[in-house]
Structure 1
C-alpha cells in the first residue's frame, strides 16, 4: 500500500524554513530534502494558498514563512495539503438492500470518522514550533 508522506515532509521543510532567514528556492529545498523541485513547488503552492508561506520572485527569491511557526498548527498544514486520507480503509455504499451489509458499512464508517476526528484534534493541539521544542529538549 502506498502511503502519503507529504505531511511529515512539509513539516520538516517548515522547521528548516524557520531557521533560515533568506528565501529558499524550490531547487535548493529539493536538494536539501531529496525531492524533485516540481513536487516542492506543488506542495508549497498549497501552503501559499492557505497563507502559511509566501514566494518571492526574482534574484534572491524563493519560499519563506508568512507567519511564525508558533501560529501554524499541524492541522493548518494538513488542510493546506488537501486533508489527505488518513487511512486506507474505507466503507463503500452498500450495493444491496441487505441489512447486514449496511450494518458492516455503517460500523466501519463510524469508526473511521471517529478516528479521523481524533487525528484532527491532535493536529490542532500542536504547532510547528512545538516540534522544534521537542528536539531542543
Structure 2
C-alpha cells in the first residue's frame, strides 16, 4: 500500500517558502518538488482556504506564507489537507459475522483510536518554526551558511540534507 506523503511534501514546500521569504511561483515550487505545477496549485489552494498561504498575482507574484511560522502547527496543515487517514492498517471486515472477529475489531479499533489521538495531540504541539529551527541547526552542523537552495546539496545527498 502506498503511503500518503502529502503532509511531508507540504511541510517541505512551506519551509522552502519561508526560507525564500518572497512569493514563489507554482512552477518554481513544482520544479523543486519534481512534480507538476497543477499539483502544487491544487494543494496550495486548499491551504489558502485555511489562511495558511496567500497568493499574489502579476509580476513578482506567487505563493507565500500568510501567517508566522510559530502560529502554524502540523495539525493546521493536516486539517487543510482534509485530514488524510493517519494509519494504513485496518480491520479485515467492518461488519463481521464472527464473534472472534468482532473481538479483534474492537481491540484494534480501540488501539487505532488511541494512537490517532496521540498523534494528533503531537501535531498540535509542533510548529513550522520548530521545523525551521531544526533545519537551520542541520545547515549549521554541515557547515552551510547563508540562504538555502536545493542546489547547495549534491543530487545524491539532497534527500538526506533536508
TM-score range, shorter chain: over 0.9
Q: Counterpart of 2:14?
A: 14
How far apart, in 2, do the equivalents of 1:5 and 1:93 lie?
26
Structure of higher RCO (CA pairs closer than 8 Å, 6+ residues apart): 1
Tell me the CA shift for residue 8 of structure 1. Answer: 1.1
- RMSD value over aligned CA atoms? 1.2
- What CA distance in whole angstroms lies between the structure 2 residues aligned with 1:88 and 1:33? 24
Unaligned runs of 5+ in 2: 138-162
* Structure 1 residue ranges without an equivalent (≥5): none
1:27 aligns to 2:27 (yes or no): yes
Q: Which runs of 4+ in 1 moved over 4 A?
A: none
State the 1:58 CA deviation. 2.2
Cα distance in structure 1, aligned partners of 2:26 and 2:87: 29
Which residue of the partner structure matches residue 90 of structure 1? 90
Query: What residue in structure 2 maps to residue 52 of structure 1?
Result: 52
Partner of 1:47: helix, strand, or coil?
Answer: helix
Once the two structures are TM-superposed, the CA of residue 131 in structure 1 deviates from its matched residue by: 0.6
**Cross-structure match for 1:99:** 99
Q: TM-score, normalised by structure 1?
A: 0.93
Query: Normalising to structure 2: TM-score of the pair?
Result: 0.79
Partners of 2:46 and 2:94 in 1: CA distance: 31
